[in-house]
Structure 1
Amino acid sequence: MTMLLGRRGLLRAGLAATALPGLRGLAFAAPAAREVPLLILVSLRGGMDGLHFLSPADDRDFTELRIAPLRTAAEGERAGARLDASREVDFRLHPEAAPLATIWREGRMAIWPAAGVPLATRSHFEAQALMGWGQGRSGEAPPHGGWLAAWAEGLGSGAPVIALSGQDAAAAALVGGRRTLTVPTLAGGLEVPGGAFGEAMLQALHGQAAGPAAEAGRQALASLASLDRALPRDAAGHVLPYAPAAGVDYGPAAEFGRGLATVAQVAKLDPGLTAAAVDLGGWDTHDGQAGRFANRARVLAQGLAALDADLRDLPRRWTVLVASEFGRRLRANRSNGTDHGRAGVMFAFGGGGHRPFGLARQFGPWPGLSTEALEEGVDLRVATDYRDTFRQVVAELAPGGPVPFART
């Protein structure tokens, strides 16, 4: 159950869940006494065309079978950023994603160019559900909630808010968290509907009641109050606007940037925040892909670059993990777009704390685009199970912590 908690559409994710017992495929280790790391999941909804975002620019099969407007080239006015990620292939990042190439060159990024769900599906709903739950195939017993919420719970932070969806709706991977809030912005504070009267009514409703809904309601109110108290205010009690690090501007990334700014703000206010998620849609490019894709790539790169700069001096480790439910087909369709495919690009980058990003410049396996290498003769084959990617990221971020997607 999800509960409306504010005039600005604040939602409480997984309000009916009082725990996450037995989440399928998640093994927990006893958390050690250490600083709390932060994992930020960015889900690219709609199936991002990984071959357009990160093109094998000198691959003959690619250049012969993919139309030029949907390729990132090695030369010309719109040449992509060279990554030098492979000795065999000249991989070029889309020109609008150039800020991300800087992070790669700094040695703070890992890329998996052909990752995806193991199930051969081209359904947005099915692939997104599998990734949110941390599953590998249809028919598995539905878990109690999202994998990221369970990972955050298992890491053992005692903070009132340990997970945050920085948007208007709960991120799938965070559904079910006991101390998870969905907050698109903190600009007006976190007052519940009806002000003091509304809060008193909710306290009366949940304060002495028994059962999972009442317990979750009490936790929600406590989480909101804790975060609201941490917000800086002026002499009149008005919440002060968030001031990111010098030179950081989330504005060009629009709504996506607003969500990332909220995550950064809470990360600085709450040293116990362990997980956060923000979605970016608009990647379902069946027609007119070139212009639409460039816009999305620009928003993504500008938002992530702003977040990277804003969190650069955070005194604890943080990692951003970026994934889409699937990629798109090698050949374009008749509408100058691409249809649902299989493997796509996933990447992660990080900083903060007192040690470097341990997956620096790691580049996942590349199956190639020859006829015999393609899946069903049309798609980039999945060479890396997304669960392996996610597992590597969390193991690097929190050694000895919860292990998601344990093989059974």
Structure 2
Amino acid sequence: MPILLGRRHLLRAGLGAALLPGLRSLAFAEQPGAPLLVLVNLRGGMDGLHALSPADSAHFVDLRAENLRSLATGPQAGHRLDASPAADFRLHREAGPLAEIWQDGRMAIWPAAGVPQATRSHFEAQAMMGLGQGLRAEAGGSTGWLAAWAAGAAPPDAAIAAISAQGGLAPELRGARHGLAVAGLGDGLAPPGSAFGDAMLEALYRRGQGPVAEAGRDALGGLRSIDRLLPRNAEGRPLPYAPAVGVDYGPGREFGRALAVMAQTAKLNPALVAATVDLGGWDTHEGQPGRFADRMRVLARGLGAFDADMAGLPRRWTVLVASEFGRRLRSNRSSGTDHGRAGVILAFGGRFGLGRHFGEWPGLAPEALDEGVDLRVASDYRAVFRTVIADLAPSAPPPFARS
């Protein structure tokens, strides 16, 4: 049987030697470095039914304007997945790089996942997901679920185990030891004030007691550990990051730049086990068609570049993409959609590990809907995350207690 290799296969194959599936376990039996989980938070409630449309569902067609659906034919046609006999699922037309990863057999999709307790509040849903909760009333501390998982998955000598590739730590990494917010590496990671500022901060935290001083020492150690690894020119200035040949983060705009920071840090620091970035702009109550297409373009181009750039990383890695909830089945009168319940979660990884999977689909018949208006949550997001992380790091403690 011939083996067909597309553009992404060839790029990922490195020197032109694509690994046969039967050799995968042998070639990657031992991977240096810790496994890496990259969490992409789509803030604002992404319309999963627009991103991944059951194009031939009569209920969907009846209640959704055509320009808020991914169609089977015409200029709005989406990418056919052949994912389920239940419906003709189509990824948005701007999601070509993601469709390629699915066709590679390296992506899992849960089309109806979310927080089990009904909420249409961004703040509430994001707070629950940040702490790994399923109910408002669950007891929980101030430590994010990803911070807690990273603490158990990271090597004991890790100076930096987790990063947020943005201006501040994501809620999922709140309370993380050996965690930093790293918005960019172009100017290095030396503390402000150069050598004098570094000495002042060192003196401030060296003999301090308590969590603040401990966090200060951790942060200084982490900054220094990454800064020392950055390649520099003759004047000592950090060189611009050079991704893998053929990789261009530019079409991913601000999201692409954040992903490039993640990729560079992961290549420099084999102890990095967790990284997060937010991509906002999904709260599309009005004017959704153009706004949604732009966000999908940025998301797909950015993740496509990251996927190709990470192809040569000699350790296991997985990207997990989720939003706090989906949107209503019925479109509104402002060419948009309002807050709903279930959304789409997707995950993909490198040449080893995570394979193709499609989660439960409850359908859009009136009797199957949540309160008669929303796509029902068929998969608790915590169960989805557990499944993904168990595949990535079988020996690490699970991120959530089973409920």
Match of 1:77 among 75, 78, 96: 75
Aligned length: 373
Q: 2:326 — aligned with what?
A: 327
More deviation, 193-202/253-262: 193-202
Is the Cα contact below 8 Å between 2:154 and 2:271 reproduced in 1?
A: no
TM-score, structure 2 length as denominator?
A: 0.91
**Take 1:194 and 1:367, find their aligned partners in 2: how far apart are those partners?**
57
1:245-284 Cα offsets, whole Å, 9 max, x none, are 0011111111111110000000000001000001100000
**Take 1:170 and 1:194, find their aligned partners in 2: how far apart are those partners?**
22
1:182-214 Cα offsets, whole Å, 9 max, x none, are 011100001212111111111111111211111
2:386 counterpart of 1:391: yes
Deviation at 1:141, TM superposition (A): 2.0
**Take 1:211 and 1:404, find their aligned partners in 2: how far apart are those partners?**
26
**Take 1:236 and 1:197, find their aligned partners in 2: how far apart are those partners?**
19
Q: 2:400 — aligned with what?
A: 405
1:77-114 Cα offsets, whole Å, 9 max, x none, are 22100000011210000000111000000000000000
Q: 1:382 — aligned with what?
A: 377
User: What is the identity percentage for the equivalent residue pairs of Structure 1 and Structure 2?
Assistant: 65
1:372 is paired with a residue of what secondary structure?
helix
Q: 1:251 — aligned with what?
A: 250
Match of 1:125 among 123, 134, 139: 123
**Take 1:243 and 1:398, find their aligned partners in 2: how far apart are those partners?**
28
Deviation at 1:144, TM superposition (A): 3.4
More deviation, 144-153/384-393: 144-153
**Take 2:42 and 2:397, find their aligned partners in 1: how far apart are those partners?**
25
Q: 2:300 — aligned with what?
A: 301
1:55 is paired with a residue of what secondary structure?
strand
Deviation at 1:140, TM superposition (A): 1.7
Deviation at 1:33, TM superposition (A): 11
1:223 is paired with a residue of what secondary structure?
helix
Q: 2:138 — aligned with what?
A: 140
Q: 2:14 — aligned with what?
A: none
1:43 is paired with a residue of what secondary structure?
strand
**Take 2:243 and 2:31, find their aligned partners in 1: how far apart are those partners?**
29
CA RMSD between the two structures: 1.3
Alignment map for 1:5-404 (pairs within 5 Å): 35-157=33-155, 158-352=157-351, 356-358=352-354, 360-404=355-399
Counterpart residue identity of residue 93, structure 1 = L
1:312 is paired with a residue of what secondary structure?
helix
For the structure 1 residues 186 and 340, does the alpha-carbon distance in structure 2 shift closer, same or farther, using more than 3 Å as the test?
Answer: same
**Take 1:214 and 1:132, find their aligned partners in 2: how far apart are those partners?**
25
1:7-41 Cα offsets, whole Å, 9 max, x none, are xxxxxxxxxxxxxxxxxxxxxxxxx9974100000
1:115 is paired with a residue of what secondary structure?
strand
Is the Cα contact below 8 Å between 2:154 and 2:161 reproduced in 1?
A: no
Deviating 4+ runs (over 4 angstroms): none
TM-score, structure 1 length as denominator?
A: 0.90
2:282 is paired with a residue of what secondary structure?
coil
**Take 1:172 and 1:328, find their aligned partners in 2: how far apart are those partners?**
22
Going by fraction, where is helix more abundant, 1 or 2?
A: 2
Is the Cα contact below 8 Å between 2:67 and 2:76 reproduced in 1?
A: no
Is the Cα contact below 8 Å between 1:113 and 1:366 reproduced in 2?
A: yes
